[in-house]
Structure 1
Amino acid sequence: MTAVAVPKPPLPRFATGPVAAVAVVHIAVLTALSSRYGFHRDELYFIAAGNHPASGYVDQPPITPLLARAATALFGDTPSGLRVAATLCGGVTTVLIALVAREFGGGRRTQFAAATATALSGYVLVMSHMLATNSVDMVMWTAIGLLGLRLLRTGDGRWWLAIGAVVGVGMANKWLVLVLLAALGIALLVTGPRAVFASGWTIAGIAIAVVLVVPQLFWQIRHGFPMLTVASGIRADDGTKNRLLLVPMQLVYLSPVLVPVWIAGLARLWRAPQLRWARAYALSYPAACLILVLVGGKPYYAVPLLLILLAAGADPTLRWIARGGKRRHGYAGILAAAGAAISVVVALPVLPITALRGPVMAFNKDQGEQVGWPEFTSTVARAWQRIPPDQRPKAVILTGNYGQAGALERFGPGLGLPRPYSNHMSYADWGPPPDTMTGPVLYVGTLRPAVLAAFGDCQRVAVNDNSFGLPNDEQGTEISLCSQGHEPWSRIWPRLRTFY
């Protein structure tokens, strides 16, 4: 096998104690706060998807739903039980970034600083608090980044095997990993060392990744690649906004206080002779941003690469602070404390629910999406009582989005509600209602033209109020009672389906 001739600098010892302490505190704080507010709409969907195990879903690969199923089975069907998976992802990411700092020659203090900055950054706190596909994706990107650095630093092609395995697992969670691979590939072709590709181990790593991806790839092929349909819909709806916000949001996702740190890391990787072997990582971040601009991807997709740059910038930042004496130390401490406080308030459920209105939800609307689901279910239950008792056995509850369906599935049985159906995302694959369900339809959400065409007369019977006056996506949701249409469910179901 061909080895790549690159420098092999000795690494400092890993700061096991300090980094472990950061990870443990991070996990403990997230665990203590995980039961506040409630489930996020996506979490309710992941729980439902986990109860319908498959090699793929309309809008995602299978790993996050499977994690949701495992976490709720092991730790309880509660927000805190579900979020054990997300919290562990945050702790693992913290350790991985400390290891990345070590790859760049960072000693004990630098590793501790990188881990602490990671644990207190806004993006990592959000993804550690609630389970999302990006919770796992954050771990996958940082792990691939670390393994890539090992490959470049040592020139040992066998690291391709580990990279291939992590890429395969990452693809089973979110295909966004392809953006990272494209960005790193472009950067390596531009800056080198290009010889890193000239190895039989490269082919072996690719083969491992392909084998792991095959099951979900076949699922997508059998179903007509619905993930591409979802992606095109998101791009059509939000592509322009995503492009306009990509640069400014990079400045706030980790923390404005950390912007000088990751900029220092980018400059260091580009300029430092002793890190010339890692120069591609300086170019990979702007390359990823360019790819996202071209495809209209969401601004936070590139943030895990900022964590790599943060690790690179930790050492020069600490040295700059040390050169400034007590005054600079004092200013740095104040800024760090302020940045950490802002990240915690924006990312975690530490405020009273009524205090979320305004700046908090402007920066992190997901806080509001964790509020009001039991109240929403109660509103639907009251509307259900409007249906005459003799008609309820053949009546159907149909929702306009997966969050509504997930909430009714989770909280509805306790209020006497039947199984909900939805035409949204993978919920559409778990329907339609049996054709024998010929009673009225309780429709939750905006009455789209396809819904109005499918059913008879629809009358609004309730409007949801989360009781906190919080302007989240379900505040003001209308519930309408419709008469059954003239066609069976199996015939109208394809016309009702929505992918975004």
Structure 2
Amino acid sequence: MRWIAALAALTALRLAVAAVLPLAPDEAYYWVWSQDLQGGYLDHPPMVALFIRAGTLIAGETPLGIRLFGPLSLALGSVLLALAAEDLFPGRKAGVWAAALLNATLLAGVGAVAMTPDTPLLFFWTAALWALARLHRTQDGRWWLAVGVLAGAALLSKYTAVLLGFGIVVWLLLDATARRWLLRWQLWAGGALAVAVFAPVVLWNATHDWASFAKQGGRAGDWQPGQALRFIGELIGGQAGLATPLVFVLCVAGMGAAAWRWWKTRDGAALLVAVLTVPGAAIFLWQATGSRVQGNWPAILYPAAAIGAAALLTAPAWLRLRWPALILGGVMSAVVYVQALAAPFPLPRRSDPTLARLGGWPDFLRDVDAAMTREGARFVAAEEYGLASALAFGLPRGRIVVAMDPRWRYFSLPAPEPGVTGLLVRSERRGEGPPLWPGAQPLPEGEDRLVRHRNGIEAEAYRLHRVTTGAGQPPAALLPRPGS
């Protein structure tokens, strides 16, 4: 099939990009997780760490190893999405278009070459959607067992997967055909499997003061009239950019078409698409009335929305938008790839996320290593968890990296040896306040500043301080090193 060949070629391209780009600090942080596997972490559940551990076992502790399952999971998820569309709306030939629309988004195309918790979340959410479509098509209750395992794996990836469970419950309550499953054991067995898969996160929280649940539960919206319009505008504008403008329009229209079709015909397939998109969109809009919604959070809405767009927008005007949407999405993804790899456009940090996250790391790491040698530092330390993790992954073998942040007390990592002198690397973006490390002494002028840059354009500047380990310092840990 030609579309499978195109998907394979696109996946190969994404793997090549993933192998060449330096790691972003967050990716290095999740790599640290993979070196200290637990049932949960302060920020998220552990699935991203499992993805990374599996990838590095295959391709080594390299950028490709860390990101390996990003392009691969998106490829498999695209196939499952196509199958789900065919099961929900047979005869409409919507599967290939649904998969193509998803792949045309920056959320998927760029997200596939960055390993974050959204990577496994998007895969398992899509796989659960496929299992639900199989259930709807076959009416074979055993598919509830697959739904349970996959939904549990999605929740083991990121807490926003709770929206998947919410959508399923709404579908069961509103659809007369689906409602009969409430009396069947398969549904409840699937629910028990989902709970069992998620149980390690509950157990980890129970033994760590419910830290992760408390942290993520504190993100609830709080109505702020002065900021609401701004945050909502940022959310909608950000989604139009990250989904790419035409795909965004098609997906929003697909959501609306699914809800309208169910309202008019009580079509259970359309209802399934609607409950996996509309409630989530409403919740994110509500969240934006009180705080900023990160652009990646709504990514989970796009698989079902793409099915709605491909299967239900059949008017000629909508059909004419399909190819332009794919072309525009492909061009935008290609521009981001090229900018991240070669930076042909001399954009400042505020206009270039690839510069802020990826730019200049190899040279900066060499500068830090040289500063350690010059100062005779036994270790290098950082207050920011992402910066510390980037140093731990990227510095030459043999260098010791100390991380300072209260979050490290939730890891089973060793504490630094007392009475040892090293360098503290501190971003100027943290402000002019003193370092958290007690007794930190700035280096002499001319030796106290490093700049991470790409092609002469500054990505971030850092100050260097001389520090000594000892009693009274904030929580600190020795970070693992590749090959250690």
What is the rounded CA distance, in whole Å, between the counterparts of 2:394 and 2:219 in structure 1? 29
- Cα 1:441–1:129 shift into 2, 3 Å: closer
- Cα 1:440–1:82 shift into 2, 3 Å: closer
Residue of structure 2 aligned with 1:370, choices 358, 375, 394: 358
What is the rounded CA distance, in whole Å, between the counterparts of 1:470 and 1:350 in structure 2? 13
Q: Which residue of 2 aligns with 1:212?
A: 197
Letter in 2 for 1:403: G
Q: 1:30 aligned to 2:18?
A: no
- Correspondence 1:125-274 to 2 at 5 A: 125-186=109-170, 188-190=172-174, 193-231=178-216, 243-272=232-261
Per-residue deviation, 1:266: 2.5
What is the rounded CA distance, in whole Å, between the counterparts of 1:302 and 1:106 in structure 2? 27
Q: Which residue of 2 aligns with 1:410?
A: 393
Residue of structure 2 aligned with 1:50, choices 34, 57, 78: 34
What is the rounded CA distance, in whole Å, between the counterparts of 2:180 and 2:162 in structure 1? 21
What is the rounded CA distance, in whole Å, between the counterparts of 2:191 and 2:338 in structure 1? 38
Cα deviation per residue 1:329-371 (whole Å; 9 max; x = unaligned)? xx7645542332123323665662252626x974x72564122
Cα deviation per residue 1:254-273 (whole Å; 9 max; x = unaligned)? 22112343244224423446
SS at match of 2:453: coil
SS at match of 2:473: helix
What is the rounded CA distance, in whole Å, between the counterparts of 1:351 and 1:440 in structure 2? 33
Residue of structure 1 aligned with 2:267, choices 258, 271, 276: 276
Contact 1:345 1:351 in 2 (8 A): no
Q: 1:463 aligned to 2:439?
A: no
Moved more, 132-141 or 221-230: 221-230
Q: 1:444 aligned to 2:429?
A: no
Letter in 2 for 1:27: T
TM-score, normalised via structure 1 length: 0.80
Q: Which residue of 2 aligns with 1:381?
A: 369
Contact 2:451 2:458 in 1 (8 A): no
Per-residue deviation, 1:425: 3.5
Cα deviation per residue 1:277-333 (whole Å; 9 max; x = unaligned)? 12243244221123234455534322332221212221454662698xxxx5xx764
Per-residue deviation, 1:105: 2.4
- Cα 1:375–1:271 shift into 2, 3 Å: same
TM-score, normalised via structure 2 length: 0.82
Contact 2:175 2:268 in 1 (8 A): no
Cα deviation per residue 1:19-42 (whole Å; 9 max; x = unaligned)? 422321221221232233311212
SS at match of 2:347: coil
Per-residue deviation, 1:177: 0.8
What is the rounded CA distance, in whole Å, between the counterparts of 2:210 and 2:181 in structure 1? 33
SS at match of 1:476: strand
Residue of structure 1 aligned with 2:407, choices 415, 421, 425: 425
What is the rounded CA distance, in whole Å, between the counterparts of 1:322 and 1:443 in structure 2? 53
For structure 2, which runs of at least 5 residues remain unmatched after alignment? 478-484
Letter in 1 for 2:401: R
- Correspondence 1:65-80 to 2 at 5 A: 65-80=49-64
Residue of structure 2 aligned with 1:292, choices 274, 284, 290: 284
For structure 1, which runs of at least 5 residues remain unmatched after alignment? 1-16
Per-residue deviation, 1:194: 3.6
What is the rounded CA distance, in whole Å, between the counterparts of 2:173 and 2:185 in structure 1? 18
Per-residue deviation, 1:455: 1.4
- Cα 1:442–1:428 shift into 2, 3 Å: farther
Q: 1:21 aligned to 2:5?
A: yes
Letter in 2 for 1:352: A
- Cα 1:242–1:207 shift into 2, 3 Å: farther
What is the rounded CA distance, in whole Å, between the counterparts of 1:105 and 1:236 in structure 2? 36
What is the rounded CA distance, in whole Å, between the counterparts of 1:349 and 1:302 in structure 2? 25
- Cα 1:305–1:353 shift into 2, 3 Å: same
What is the rounded CA distance, in whole Å, between the counterparts of 2:419 and 2:392 in structure 1? 18
Contact 2:339 2:345 in 1 (8 A): no
Per-residue deviation, 1:399: 0.7
Q: Which residue of 2 aligns with 1:9?
A: none
What is the rounded CA distance, in whole Å, between the counterparts of 2:97 and 2:454 in structure 1? 42
Q: 1:344 aligned to 2:334?
A: yes
What is the rounded CA distance, in whole Å, between the counterparts of 2:254 and 2:435 in structure 1? 56
What is the rounded CA distance, in whole Å, between the counterparts of 1:281 and 1:109 in structure 2? 16
Per-residue deviation, 1:441: 5.0
Residue of structure 1 aligned with 2:345, choices 343, 355, 369: 355
What is the rounded CA distance, in whole Å, between the counterparts of 1:52 and 1:412 in structure 2? 19
Contact 1:40 1:366 in 2 (8 A): no
Contact 2:235 2:295 in 1 (8 A): yes
What is the rounded CA distance, in whole Å, between the counterparts of 1:401 and 1:350 in structure 2? 23
Tell me how many residue pairs correspond in the alignment: 460
Q: 1:308 aligned to 2:304?
A: yes
Runs of 4+ in 1 over 6 A off after TM superposition: 233-241, 447-451
- Correspondence 1:106-117 to 2 at 5 A: 106-107=90-91, 109-117=93-101
- Cα 1:243–1:187 shift into 2, 3 Å: farther
SS at match of 1:463: strand
Q: 1:401 aligned to 2:390?
A: no
Letter in 2 for 1:126: V
Contact 1:33 1:348 in 2 (8 A): no
Cα deviation per residue 1:44-101 (whole Å; 9 max; x = unaligned)? 1122221112222221222211221221221132223332211101101211221122
Moved more, 203-212 or 287-296: 287-296
- Cα 1:495–1:34 shift into 2, 3 Å: closer
Contact 1:285 1:302 in 2 (8 A): no
What is the RMSD of the two structures over their aligned residues, measured on CA atoms? Answer: 3.5
SS at match of 2:403: strand
Per-residue deviation, 1:236: 9.1
Contact 1:71 1:83 in 2 (8 A): yes
Per-residue deviation, 1:131: 1.3
Moved more, 270-279 or 200-209: 270-279
What is the rounded CA distance, in whole Å, between the counterparts of 2:215 and 2:295 in structure 1? 17
Contact 2:97 2:310 in 1 (8 A): yes
